[in-house]
A = this chain, B = another copy of it.
Amino acid sequence: MHADASAVLGPFVGVLGGMGPLATVDLLAKIIEETPAGIDQDHVPVVAHNVAQIPDRQRFVAGDGPSPLPAMHAGIARLNAIGAGCIAMPCNTAHIWFDTLAAHSRAPLIHIADAVAEVLSDGLADGPAPARVGLLATQGTLRAGFYQQRLGARGIEVLHNRDDEFDAWFTPGCYAVKAGDLERGARLLGEAAARLAERGAERLLLACTEVPPALARLDPAGLPAQIDATRALARACVRWWQQQPRTTT
């Protein structure tokens, strides 16, 4: 089956999603938005494994629950089994396990922080690269340090929320979005963002995939301009596809 299907359809961008399900839908929509396409057949082929039955990443990082790693490996194995050409994860926290997942995957994984770094090094549409960005990310992402390392190497300082700010606003804001309550999520995550702006963040780096759909509900004039890590990841997926040799169907 696998050889036949791949011969007919060719490779695709695999999406290890479900962390959460709405964030995966957000990535798929942004891949379409970022693709210059006139007809269906121009679009980036994607197989999205939007299976949320993965143990909670934030809880595991906090020492409260089982590891999500076996379920993540299983999802990546499925995507590889049917011919993924690369794999993207619309979940920043999941990148804590990036190296292990990449080591067990035939298809290369695209790192979301590389995708953000590429957007910043390409230059922003509305101005130069910022000196200070405010990182809106889970405590797991923050402690893993990959954004600080990759942006720091380019001379960009990364500001972040304090532990008490996580407890009061960021973490409950994320769970509100996961539960589908975008209005409450917007209010809570907006408070977390405001603290970073007060400390001098010139841009907000939305590096938790629950954040963009929520912040989109707030008045953009009240906060620093945003860099959306999900949109950066979408662009990296489109770039990957544009670099593939074309097959005809």
Q: How far in angstroms is the closest Cβ of chain B from A17?
A: 9
Of all chain B residues, the one with the shortest Cβ separation from A68 is B249
Q: How far apart sit A227 and B54, CA to CA, in the bound complex (Å)? A: 34
Question: Which B residues touch A47, using CB under 8 A?
Answer: 47-51, 78
The answer to whether the Cβ of A1 comes within 8 Å of any Cβ in the partner chain is yes
Question: Are the CB atoms of A180 and B32 closer together than 8 Å?
Answer: yes
State which residues 28-64 of A face B: CB under 8 Å.
Answer: 28-29, 32-33, 37-43, 45-56
A sample of 30 cross-chain residue pairs with beta-carbon separation below 8 angstroms, ordered by A number, consists of A1-B80, A2-B81, A4-B77, A5-B77, A8-B71, A9-B74, A19-B40, A20-B43, A21-B40, A21-B43, A21-B46, A24-B28, A25-B28, A28-B48, A32-B180, A33-B180, A37-B179, A38-B179, A39-B178, A40-B178, A41-B53, A42-B52, A43-B52, A46-B50, A47-B47, A53-B249, A55-B249, A78-B83, A81-B81, A82-B82
Q: How far apart sit A175 and B24, CA to CA, in the bound complex (Å)? A: 25
User: What residues make up the interface of A, taking CB atoms closer than 8 Å to B?
Assistant: 1-2, 4-5, 8-10, 12, 18-22, 24-25, 28-29, 32-33, 37-43, 45-56, 66, 70-71, 73-75, 77-78, 80-83, 175, 178-180, 247, 249
